[in-house]
Amino acid sequence: MIHEHRVLNPATEELVATVPATTAAEVDTAVTRATAAQRTWAALAPADRARLLRRFAVLVDEHAERLALLEVTEAGHTLGNARWEAANVRDLLDYAAGGVERLTGRQIPVPGGIDLTFLEPLGVVGVIAPWNFPMPIAAWGTAPALAAGNAVLLKPAETTPLTAQYLARLALDAGLPQHLFQVLPGAGDVAGTAVVEHPGVAKIVFTGSTRVGKQIMARCADRVKRLTLELGGKSPNIVFADADVEAAAAAAPMSFLDNAGQDCCARTRILVQRSVYERFLELLVPAVTSVVVGDPSDEKTQMGPLISRAQLERVRGYVPESADGIRGGAPTGPGFWFPPTVLTGIAPDAPVATEEVFGPVAVVLPFEDEADAVRLADATDHGLAGSIWTRDVGRALRVSQAVRAGNLSVNSHSAVRYWTPFGGYKQSGFGRELGPDALAAFTETKNVFIGTEA
């Protein structure tokens, strides 16, 4: 059994830290402690809980640069991205804090009495996070779960536990009850499984691969445990001939190169109407080759390394050496580097065109008309995100409604905003995070009828 995890800097392969791996017995202790802390937390006045969460947000803000640098070091994120991520955690805590005092039930008109609903906390929630956005994804589950009156056990990915541990220290410094928010680093099949299977954990929020998501769903089924799944994606970027083709080509590279393509919403299937296909490719060449790839701690860098050697090998395995396309530059030497890559002439049903690569690799596929675009856009098992480029408002709305994906953007590539709901269709998962209903996902609705005619 692994007793500790080595955290490497993906840009240099240097050892950053070793972190003890949580055992199943330690998970059990953590659940007992979290259960007690949750009772204390839920008994506080809502205004006090909101105040403590706001104080937590203030501390995240004060430590944002430290958190960002830690994210650069353990995850290879560019400094600009890492700063955004720390700020996102702060904003999520603030937004969730605003919900504590607005988490209201309803009074429903019924004959013979009064009917009330209560939104009660679930108890202890397990948040299992991936390595690709360690801080924000941990906070998407943690902030609303805490705000709704729950305790949280956060299991970060093996490769990226450091920012999570730092956040847990800040929560304590902010005055949140001890053991209310605990970070349990360790192996997915040990610490992760123990959290999923523990009867004292009421809900799992899992973000990660579709493969592991399916295993977790099966395990949760045994106990009818509540579950939110945020899984993989293979998102289309649909460019119609009536679009601003220059703007679409300029925006396309960073829509799949951000975070070196290790983004569940990456627009890795660029679908271009045949009449503008050649023009779009001409414009795409300089846009892709000018992306600055290198040292993530340099403010000018737009794309850093992949997270690990295993991920590098996985990405390489998807890209045929002889494939036509556009390739950017990348550093050589230590670090897990893969160049920006756009493949052309690929069959629409090839693995690289339908499966999540999770690297800086996209394919460009031509389409004939609107119906063909929608058919191609939906031709994967995933349904997380997508973009539609057109100047025709009617078409923008028609295609947005037709494509089976949870997060679409028109003439832009935005996907995740903490104000708006986020989640997948099909095998990209179920349940929604973020947005105005985020807290409700961490409650049970209890209905109470009070007879008034006795």
- The secondary element (H helix, E strand) that includes residue 155 is strand 151-155
Nearest to 272 by CA among 389, 132, 153, 144: 389
Report d(CA 422, CA 88) in Å as an integer: 15
Q: CA 271 → CA 71, 306, 327, 399, distances in Å?
A: 33, 25, 18, 13
- Closest approach, Cβ 305 to ligand NAD, in A, equals 15
Phi first, then psi, for residue 182 (nearest 5°) are -115, 140
Q: Concatenate the DSSP letters of all residues of 339-406 into one string.
A: --EEE-S--TTSHHHHS---SSEEEEEEE-SHHHHHHHHT-SS--SEEEEE-S-HHHHHHHHHHS--S
Residues 337-396 that bind ligand NAD (CB under 6 A): 356, 358, 384
Rule CB under 6 A: say whether 9 interacts with ligand NAD. no
Active-site residue 230, yes or no? yes
Given candidates 128, 205, 254, 323, which one binds ligand NAD under the rule CB under 6 A? 128
Which tokens in the block code for residue 184? 């349990």
- Closest approach, Cβ 158 to ligand NAD, in A, equals 5
Which tokens in the block code for residue 339? 């160049």
Given candidates 32, 215, 289, 354, which one binds ligand NAD under the rule CB under 6 A? 215
Candidates 91-99, 202-210, 296-304, 373-381: pick the segment binding ligand NAD (CB under 6 A): 202-210
Residues 137-156 that bind ligand NAD (CB under 6 A): 137, 155
Rule CB under 6 A: say whether 208 interacts with ligand NAD. yes
- Closest approach, Cβ 406 to ligand NAD, in A, equals 9
Given candidates 21, 129, 180, 415, which one binds ligand NAD under the rule CB under 6 A? 129
Residues 403-442 that bind ligand NAD (CB under 6 A): 424, 428-429
Active-site residue 321, yes or no? no
Which distant-in-sequence residues (6+ apart) come within 8 Å of 197 by Cβ? 219, 222, 223
Rule CB under 6 A: say whether 132 interacts with ligand NAD. yes
- Closest approach, Cβ 267 to ligand NAD, in A, equals 13
Binding-site size for ligand NAD (CB under 6 A) equals 32
Residues in the chain: 454
- Cβ atoms within 10 Å, residue 451: 8
Report d(CA 384, CA 402) in Å as an integer: 14
From the candidates 74, 85, 264, 433, which is the catalytic residue?
Answer: 264
- Closest approach, Cβ 431 to ligand NAD, in A, equals 10
Rule CB under 6 A: say whether 217 interacts with ligand NAD. no
- Cβ atoms within 10 Å, residue 140: 27
Given candidates 4, 101, 189, 368, which one binds ligand NAD under the rule CB under 6 A? 189
DSSP secondary structure letter of residue 37: H
Given candidates 136, 185, 233, 328, which one binds ligand NAD under the rule CB under 6 A? 233
Candidates 69-77, 93-101, 192-200, 252-260: pick the segment binding ligand NAD (CB under 6 A): 192-200
Given candidates 68, 157, 170, 364, which one binds ligand NAD under the rule CB under 6 A? 157
- Closest approach, Cβ 414 to ligand NAD, in A, equals 14
Rule CB under 6 A: say whether 269 interacts with ligand NAD. no
From the candidates 71, 74, 85, 230, which is the catalytic residue?
Answer: 230
Q: How far is CA 345 from the centre of its chain?
A: 31
Given candidates 78, 207, 301, 427, which one binds ligand NAD under the rule CB under 6 A? 207
Q: Concatenate the DSSP letters of all residues of 317-341 into one string.
A: HHS-TT--EEE-----SSS-----E
Q: CA 182 → CA 31, 138, 150, 232, distances in Å?
A: 9, 12, 12, 26
- Closest approach, Cβ 160 to ligand NAD, in A, equals 8
Please give the positions annotated as active site.
Answer: 230, 264
Interface with ligand NAD (CB under 6 A): 128-133, 137, 155, 157-158, 188-189, 192-193, 196, 207-209, 212, 215-216, 230-233, 264, 356, 358, 384, 424, 428-429
